[in-house]
Structure 1
């Protein structure tokens, strides 16, 4: 099940009914779930690479991931599309509390590309992502960090410092790292939009196929945790 909601601070403005519809969908899902079952909440928290920028309806990363999970037997997983095009890590940190409003068992954090294009100080990017991960974990969520890679045009020093952010954070927080969100997609014109920066429909499918095993592994660990917690009562 996919839940899409919008943010008051976002650059695009949506009508309030979208948020109301999301809340209603959550309530209806929970009411229809057996009391003994533990629905899992997966939050996709990123920028235009995961928000579905310039893609047909239903072709965004959260949509495709939700369908793949359902096909693999994870029909109890609620996927929340909390991504917003244009966001930097600073923007993400500001709206994180709202993104976590329904709670989350697993969060895929996908940010940094816009910071890189703005040549933001890598220490600032690290600090923002560090806070985002810390807050998610404090809420009881597991985190998958989706890495990015700096473009060579910004120089080897910046690229080296930027690329090192993600493995360093994954090691510090002991979380799963998907090394490069656009792995196998970036640079392939068959899988990218004409702007050369965002994945097309086929590119999204490739991304989902790549990250899916890591997502399912984390969901299984969460299920096991809940099962043990129920058994100890």
Structure 2
């Protein structure tokens, strides 16, 4: 049914980027953080969106779960979940990360808030056995909940010295630009599902 509503949405689409330091913008000026850059990129492409930065540096999936309800206000129309890097950096049991992410997705589904998952990969130094347990978590959960998955949040940036801060973990402003450019088509596809065409 094609209802061509002449009522253009007056209110911007309200999204929340819910994650750890990679979302929060650790070591960056506030204007260089991922949610700010993503919002600017979407606006440049004609999308009226507001993206709230609900990133907390150091958060594991369990910590994210414990603050979920107060981090995602009522009225949120979509959430980009980016968690798990700290679980992997600490070598935490992937089963814990999966259970916490599962509960986050279940809770947001319960609240009727659509989700897009940004996947993470275990650092190579943790070994193949850990990677084989950790890396597939995101695809499994995306399938279970029928939500879109962006396979690897740091695609094109992980391991690139020039695109990361001195710690080798957190992206520079240039690194964030690349993350945004890479994830943009997936986010556009996600937000296209959040509003009926008008």
TM superposition score normalised by structure 2:
0.92
* Match in the other structure for 1:48: 21
Query: Alignment partner for residue 168 of structure 1, among 140, 147, 154?
Result: 140
SS of the aligned residue for 1:66 comes to helix
SS of the aligned residue for 1:145 comes to strand
Q: CA deviation at 1:78?
A: 1.7
Higher RCO (C-alpha under 8 Å, 6+ residues apart): 2
Gaps of 5+ in 2: 1-6
Q: Any idea what the Cα deviations from partners look like across 1:80-107, whole Å, max 9, x if unmatched?
A: 1111000001110010000112432111
Q: After superposition, where does 1:169-188 map in structure 2 within 5 Å? A: 169-188=141-160
Distance 1:197 1:80 in 2: 23
* Match in the other structure for 2:52: 80
SS of the aligned residue for 1:101 comes to coil
Q: CA deviation at 1:208?
A: 0.5
* Match in the other structure for 1:206: 178
* Match in the other structure for 2:4: none
* Match in the other structure for 2:161: 189
Are 1:65 and 2:31 matched, yes or no?
no
Q: Any idea what the Cα deviations from partners look like across 1:15-50, whole Å, max 9, x if unmatched?
A: xxxxxxxxxxxxxxxxxxx99634311100000011
Contact 1:103 1:139 in 2 (8 A): no
Gaps of 5+ in 1: 1-33, 228-233
Contact 1:46 1:110 in 2 (8 A): yes
Size of the aligned set, in residue pairs, is 192
Q: After superposition, where does 1:1-233 map in structure 2 within 5 Å? A: 37-75=10-48, 77-224=49-196
RMSD of Structure 2 on Structure 1 (CA) = 1.6
TM superposition score normalised by structure 1:
0.78
